[in-house]
Structure 1
Amino acid sequence: MIGTLRRRVFIITCLAAFLLTGCEEKNAGENPFTASEESSEAVISTTSGQEEIDLDAIYEKRYEDLTYTSLEPAENVTGQTDAAFWKKLFGENFTYTPVDFERLQEENPDVYAYITIPDTVVDYPVYQHPEDDYYYLEHNADGSAGYPGCVYSEGINAKDFSDFHTVLYAHNMKNGTMFGALHRYETESFFEDHPYFLVETPERGFVYEIFSVHSFDDRHLLACYDFSRAEVRERYIKMITELEGNGLVERDGNHVRELPVTSHSRILTLATCVGSRPNLRFHVHAIPVYYYDLVEE
């Protein structure tokens, strides 16, 4: 199910094309998550002379009852996540540390998850602002404005990662912090040697396995594709697993791993910018392969 929808105006052109073509056409409006050529950090851009469209009505129409996703074929490993389990996945140097959500949510109640990518600096809380989708693009966890911002999702996405497509965003920091570390997956050996990462909520943990990394244009994925339609989900999966399609950019850092991704999967995408290429994004796609409950039912 989707999260609480909010009144948010998004700048976009050609509403008819947006509504009718979805997967096939690029959103002509600027995504506010673009890259600075000088700093390789994400900045907000604006586009003038375009029609202002409130996406909430569109989202409500598309996502009224998304009940088709499933955790299958992810394996329930509740009660089996001992030290040996973690070391098998992440290596001998990995030590699992439970997330103190009580402390994090006392500091900022917008925290709802935590992401860890072993052998990188990615070890961050995940935020979702109740009113402003892009608040954490421009603000830090303590509410101060500026960089580096936070890892965040938009209100269209549920906080339990049950949607067909959840997208987490963060800045591509020049010093490699935040989601700047995602670019390590452009190196084939790193992609092959680091297939898994960890996401936890207060109720449940997920081990995700990466199946595709690639550069893409700057369209807004959750607005440009009508994922409530099975045929759109199938075309999207085909595109990102075969690395061919409108929007994909051929670069040496694109890689795929064969996994059973279907139109009922729960895809998690990590998205950031591409250095001095303001019209490109770098996407890391994964599906859950293990999950474990953190609270007793």
Structure 2
Amino acid sequence: MSRKRKLLIPAALVLIGLSLWNILPDYLDKRVSSKTYQNLREDYTEVPAGDDAEKKEDWWLTDVLIQFDELKKQNPDIVAWIRSDDPESTGVDYPVLYSGDNEKYLRRDLYGEEHIAGSIFLEGLNQPDFTDYYTIIYGHNMNDGSMFGGLKKYKEKEFWEENQYFTLYTEDMAYRYRIFACQEAANGGDVYKIGYEPGEEYQALINGMVNASLINTGILPDSSQKMMTLSTCTGNGYSRRFAVHAVCVDAQKT
């Protein structure tokens, strides 16, 4: 082996070491965070098994159990659980936390531990009892599809056709939502304002969501209905966010 090649090997090993030093902490952090939420699902939720086609029409209400009493012992800031009909496809199956601000759970899990993935959390200006007509829930756009990283799949209409519904569970209610639009919305724009009530301004917001949508679902809600936006990063800076909009199509006591 030449002297030059002998020198290159240690240099390459140093570069590999530096790369691992930069990458490994993030990888381990995401893995720990993922395990935390998987444990929560296994310990505090019960969901129907088997082929989705065999589920009865209201399975989302009768067959899904969220143990809020036990969850709130872990953290009283847990106000809901959000679950898509097919979490394997969307990745959406998480507790929703509320602190009254948009910072506390940005990079912390429900135990207060710092993690890149943070938590799924409710907009600080929203009411934690979900009485608002318009609600925003935030989650990070993780590369592995966790948190709200799977939302970007809604850019494809074929994906939306197979994954139109999700349910928000609280201690005493189950809110059934149907996704009707998705867009790259301006950070700080009308989509990120809170306090809408039935009427022209709220309807203008809804119309704008439909007109700006990256897919045409053929659904146009009206301002008498409650709406929810699931918001995450676009991956292209902070001026715009990727927003998935849904209309509440049913609400039942659990």
Return the TM-score normalized by structure 1: 0.61
Note the C-alpha offset of 1:158. 1.8
Q: Distance in 1 between matches of 2:117 and 2:190?
A: 23
Q: Distance in 1 between matches of 2:252 and 2:194?
A: 30
Structure whose residues are more often helix by fraction: 2
Note if 1:104 corresponds to 2:71.
yes
Q: Distance in 2 between matches of 1:99 and 1:138?
A: 24
Q: 1:238 to 1:135 in 2, by over 3 A?
A: same
Note the C-alpha offset of 1:122. 1.2
What per-residue deviation string (whole Å, max 9, x for no partner) do you get for residues 71-98 of structure 1?
Answer: xxxxxxxxxxx941256x8xxxxx9430
Contiguous gaps of at least 5 residues in structure 2: 1-25, 27-53
Q: 1:96 to 1:275 in 2, by over 3 A?
A: farther
Counterpart contact for 2:180–2:220, Cα < 8 Å: no
Note if 1:85 corresponds to 2:85.
no
Note the C-alpha offset of 1:229. 7.8
What per-residue deviation string (whole Å, max 9, x for no partner) do you get for residues 87-119 of structure 1?
Answer: 6x8xxxxx9430111111000000010001123
What per-residue deviation string (whole Å, max 9, x for no partner) do you get for residues 164-202 of structure 1?
Answer: 210000111111100011111112200122111111001
Length, aligned pairs only: 198
* Structure number with higher relative contact order (C-alpha < 8 Å, ≥ 6 residues apart): 1
Contiguous gaps of at least 5 residues in structure 1: 1-38, 40-81, 90-94, 249-253
Return the TM-score normalized by structure 2: 0.70
Q: 1:192 to 1:217 in 2, by over 3 A?
A: same
Of 106, 114, 134, the match for 2:81: 114
Note the C-alpha offset of 1:222. 6.7
Note the C-alpha offset of 1:275. 1.8
Tell me the residue number matched to 2:171: 202
Q: Which amino acid aligns with 2:83?
A: T
Give 4+ residue runs of structure 1 displaced > 3 Å after superposition. Answer: 220-226
Larger Rg: 2
Note if 1:233 corresponds to 2:205.
no
Counting aligned pairs with the same residue, the percent is 29
Q: Distance in 1 between matches of 2:192 and 2:153?
A: 28
Note the C-alpha offset of 1:155. 3.2
Counterpart contact for 2:98–2:122, Cα < 8 Å: yes
SS in 2 for 1:214: strand
Q: Distance in 1 between matches of 2:216 and 2:134?
A: 18
What per-residue deviation string (whole Å, max 9, x for no partner) do you get for residues 4-57 of structure 1?
Answer: xxxxxxxxxxxxxxxxxxxxxxxxxxxxxxxxxxx9xxxxxxxxxxxxxxxxxx
Counterpart contact for 1:267–1:286, Cα < 8 Å: yes
Q: Which amino acid aligns with 2:182?
A: V
Q: 1:135 to 1:238 in 2, by over 3 A?
A: same
SS in 2 for 1:257: coil
Q: Distance in 2 between matches of 1:206 and 1:235?
A: 23
Note if 1:166 corresponds to 2:138.
no
Q: Distance in 1 between matches of 2:198 and 2:167?
A: 29
Q: Distance in 1 between matches of 2:157 and 2:234?
A: 17
Cα RMSD after superposing both structures: 2.5
Note the C-alpha offset of 1:146. 2.9
Counterpart contact for 2:198–2:224, Cα < 8 Å: no
Tell me the residue number matched to 1:128: 98
Q: Distance in 1 between matches of 2:55 and 2:128?
A: 27
Note the C-alpha offset of 1:233. 1.0
Q: 1:169 to 1:103 in 2, by over 3 A?
A: same
Q: 1:145 to 1:192 in 2, by over 3 A?
A: same
Q: 1:108 to 1:225 in 2, by over 3 A?
A: closer
SS in 1 for 2:241: strand
Tell me the residue number matched to 2:144: 175
Tell me the residue number matched to 2:211: 242
Note if 1:292 corresponds to 2:252.
yes
Counterpart contact for 2:134–2:194, Cα < 8 Å: no
Note the C-alpha offset of 1:258. 3.0
Q: Distance in 2 between matches of 1:229 and 1:83?
A: 34
Counterpart contact for 2:190–2:205, Cα < 8 Å: no
